[in-house]
Amino acid sequence: MSIDLERALLEKIGDLQATKTKIDFWQREGDKVVFTNGVFDLLHLGHITYMAKAANLGDRLVVGLNADSSVKRIKGESRPINDQANRAALLAALFFVDAVVIFEEDTPLNLISALRPNILVKGSDYTVDTIVGAKEVMANGGEVKTIDLVEGYSSTSIIKRIQGQS
């Protein structure tokens, strides 16, 4: 049995409308949809652990991915290291990620408002009052949760080590 890997990955990556259609279907089927977001520039153990824990909170995990333009505004001109197509494909390759949607804005507020996930997740370096979209998710009857991060892992620190700046 051969798998068309490229097609399988691309089926997970969609625009806002395609992702909304998937989420609506999953929710009608009774699935709890978990949403998280980030840059995910250099995928590392901290990211994998975080997303696996997020996926365990529901039935489907949707990842909002900052577009290259928003990464540059947030992280600076030298970022991202990997472009959005590569970052999206890496996320889609994870078995516990059900959908990836790229967003151009600096925050995922419009995306979260449109997708209406059941559970919104961020790292424990955030509090519920500082999580973008938390009010909107809770107003729709959803939950907001934080997940403890794995110490010592960040794309920024990895980039600094590569550059000899540790």
* Tens digit of each residue's pLDDT (9 = 90 or more) over 2-47: 556 677 778 999 999 999 999 999 999 999 999 999 999 888 898 9
**SS3 state of residue 99:** strand
Domain that holds residue 124: 5-162
Q: Is residue 110 very low, low, confident or very high in pLDDT (cuts 50, 70, 90)? A: very high
Say yes or no to pLDDT of 152 above 70: no
Q: Which residue has the tokens 């969609």?
A: 14
Sequence-ordered list of residues with C-beta below 8 angstroms from that of 101, at least 6 positions apart, any chain: 13, 14, 15, 16, 19, 62, 63, 64, 65, 111, 115
Closest CA to 54 of 2, 117, 116, 1: 117
Q: How far apart are CA 37 and CA 27, in angstroms?
A: 19
Report how far apart the first and last C-alpha atoms of the chain are (Å, whole number).
Answer: 46
pTM: 0.90
CATH number of the structural domain spanning residue 152: 3.40.50.620
Number of domains in the chain: 1
Instruction: Give the whole-angstrom CA distance, residue 13 versus residue 36.
Output: 15
